[in-house]
Amino acid sequence: MAARNVPCSFLRAAVRGFAHSPAAAALVTAEQMAEKLREQKKPKAAPEVPKDRVLRRVQEYVQQTRCFQQLHPNVLAKVLKKGILYTNKDIVVINKPYGLPVHGGPGMKTCITDVLPILAKMLYGMKAEPLHLCHRLDKETTGVMVLAKDEMIAHRVQEMFKTRQVEKKYWAICIGKPEPEEGLVDIPIMEKKVDSHQSHFKMTLAPNYRLSLEDKKLCKVRRNKDAQLAVTRYRVLSSWSTCSILELEPITGVKHQIRVHLAYGLGCPILGDHKYSHWSKLAPQKLSLGTLKKLGLEQVKARYLPLHLHACNLTLPPINSNEEQKIHLFCKPPVFFKLSLKRLKLEFSASEQKEMKTD
């Protein structure tokens, strides 16, 4: 009976007060959170495949070379763990993905260095010491990469790289075909500023000889103090029309050495190397109509082409004195590399094909 005497205005005020109370706000927030979680658990629809052939090819490249910068470090560590090629008591060998930098820098959200402590814990437990880098690969280069389980082993392997005890082999799809088909490029390399409307720096050749304009003979020039010794052995494995696939063995380890020797030394830039396909500008690689047709691209979409350079083989000498045999490491090329080979009608030799199948 007492409730009947309560004014309606008082009841309305009480309801409004409860609706704006912290408890009610928390209830609404919890409901929203539950709804958000339900949405996240719903299976995501597969991206629609474009009907246009060129857009479809672009989507393939974007998906196959997805930016690992967007991944959480824990997820990235799981990706690297899944791609482990070899491990023993001293080293862990991973398959480095495309587009993942080794070290951080401006605009870099995630790099391999950042996830080494997480990867070590995933492999050896929470108290594990972070893994250590033994060498580096360019952000756009894929393939074999060696990590050490402790600092002493890392220094030992790094010294092997410095003293050229490590045998390295790469595969690269190139524009054109070098002449001769097998040889040695022995031309020093240095970094130089490119003066253009978009000023930037590039590695370039600093040859010890130049062609005399008077008698067309080679004459020796003074060595540039900033130039570094750079030697690359190359061999054509297969060629077809406008492209070829090369096996490369860098004897030295100068920054961007293979890319510079192929582009400026042999006149055969690597497919997707937009930086070293031109000297005076930063622009997408210019491809012939035949190459574009085989790849299913148009020139305006050539910027989506990834760099086709893969570290396929690495041979390490015995790391410890009690070891006798060398460690031979092999890594298959990524999906986009193999698809480009197929589209360009390039084939590996029987020995390379056998190694890829048995790995």
- Are the beta carbons of 172 and 337 closer than 8 angstroms? no
Total number of residues shown for the chain:
359
The phi, psi pair for 54, rounded to 5°, reads -65, -45
Residue 101 burial (10 A CB sphere; 0-12, 13-18, 19+)? buried
Indicate which residue of 138, 186, 215, 273 is catalytic: 138
Token representation of residue 218 = 């080679």
Token representation of residue 1 = 């009976």
- Are the beta carbons of 168 and 263 closer than 8 angstroms? no
Q: Whose structure tokens read 């970094």?
A: 191
Helix intervals (H) in the chain: 8-19, 22-41, 53-64, 73-82, 112-124, 151-162, 257-260, 289-295, 335-343, 350-358
The DSSP code sequence of 120-189 is HHHHH-TTPPPPEE-----TT-EEEEEEESSHHHHHHHHHHHHTT-SEEEEEEEEES--SSSEEEEE--E
Q: Whose structure tokens read 């309560």?
A: 6
Buried b (16+ CB within 10 A) or exposed e, 130-162: bbbbbbbbbbbbbbbbbbbbeeebbeebbebbe
The span from the CA of 110 to the CA of 113, in Å, is: 8
Count of beta carbons in the 10 Å neighbourhood of residue 234 = 25
Q: Which residues contact 118 (CB under 8 A, 6 or more apart)?
A: 73, 74, 77
- Are the beta carbons of 197 and 276 closer than 8 angstroms? no
Q: Is 138 a catalytic residue?
A: yes
Q: Which residues are catalytic?
A: 138
